[in-house]
A and B are shown apart, each in its own frame.
Chain A
């Protein structure tokens, strides 16, 4: 029994420390990598609660897929991150106060939760029963969820699709800037060459 307490303490420590680094890390790539141990700790806590189905789901989706997606978007928008600038907005102190206030409220609420005696074990074959429930009693939520997943996928592709016009505008602007720059350089090089030729003529 005390083994379970030690495991719980270790897992919560991992989860909370890496969660702290997710919100405090200045480098967002590091923060995205800290998401993985956080969600891994949460997944193991689910396992400690006796729910192996949600342990697997949490591990696959949260500990695997979501940090990778976040890393991809960070990679695509990486020019935004500037090491010289703080990563926290001007409401940082208020945000901390709000979080502490919320934590106090939650702890006050947790004290009133009572101390229910947990059943000694979870029912056998929980995953099977949840799967059967999804195909019988919860068929409508299951279908709605699958439709929503499809809609979200199509919507995400539509939103993230590269906008040809805007992109060509940006590319055109950049090209114009480059051409102007090259012209300037050419002009200054010409001027330098002319100056050199004049100097040479003077010396001769």
Chain B
């Protein structure tokens, strides 16, 4: 661990987060947008754990917090996929550009 700086982890997490952001913003299909969100969750967790390892390794907050984040993300994914299925059933389409029925 001595030779690996904290910045290396932060850079990897930042690139992963940016990839997820691009995917979430640029995709057409709602399911692909969800995949981008998952990448962002993974990057955030990686960042948290890197800080835990380098600065607060004795505390338990970070592992507990990351566990809860993973759980919340799993719930969110299940619900979002169910909503996507509902939208598909209603509109026969899950394209976020075409399904604009709830636009204000």
Residues on A lying within 8 angstroms of B by beta carbon are 1-2, 4-5, 8, 12, 15-16, 19-20, 22-23, 28, 31-32, 35, 38-39, 42, 45-46, 49-51, 53-54, 57-58, 61-62, 65-66, 69-70, 73-74, 76-77, 79-81, 85-92, 94-96, 98-100, 102-103, 106-107, 109-111, 113-120, 122-123, 126, 129-130, 133-134, 137-138, 141, 145, 148-149, 151-153, 155-160, 162-163, 166-167
Separation in Å of the A155 CB from the closest CB of chain B? Answer: 6
Q: In the complex, are the beta carbons of A23 and B27 less than 8 A apart?
A: yes
Separation in Å of the A127 CB from the closest CB of chain B? Answer: 9
Q: In the complex, are the beta carbons of B88 and A160 less than 8 A apart?
A: no
Binding site of B, secondary structure by majority: helix, strand, loop or mixed? helix
Q: In the complex, are the beta carbons of B88 and A156 less than 8 A apart?
A: no
Q: In the complex, are the beta carbons of A99 and B19 less than 8 A apart?
A: yes
B28, B70, B79 pick with most chain A CB within 10 angstroms: B28
A-B contact sample (6 more), CB < 8 A, given A16-B16, A31-B32, A89-B27 = A8-B4, A66-B77, A117-B2, A138-B64, A159-B83, A166-B90
Q: In the complex, are the beta carbons of A95 and B39 less than 8 A apart?
A: no
A113: which of B10, B67, B72 is its contact (CB, 8 Å)?
Answer: B10
Given contacts A23-B26, A76-B85, A89-B97, contact A8 B42 (CB under 8 A): no
Collect the chain A residues with CB atoms within 8 Å of residue B71's CB: 145, 148-149
Residues on B lying within 8 angstroms of A by beta carbon are 1-23, 25-29, 31-32, 34-36, 38-39, 42, 45-46, 49-50, 52-55, 57-58, 60, 63-64, 66-68, 70-72, 74-79, 81-86, 88-90, 92-97
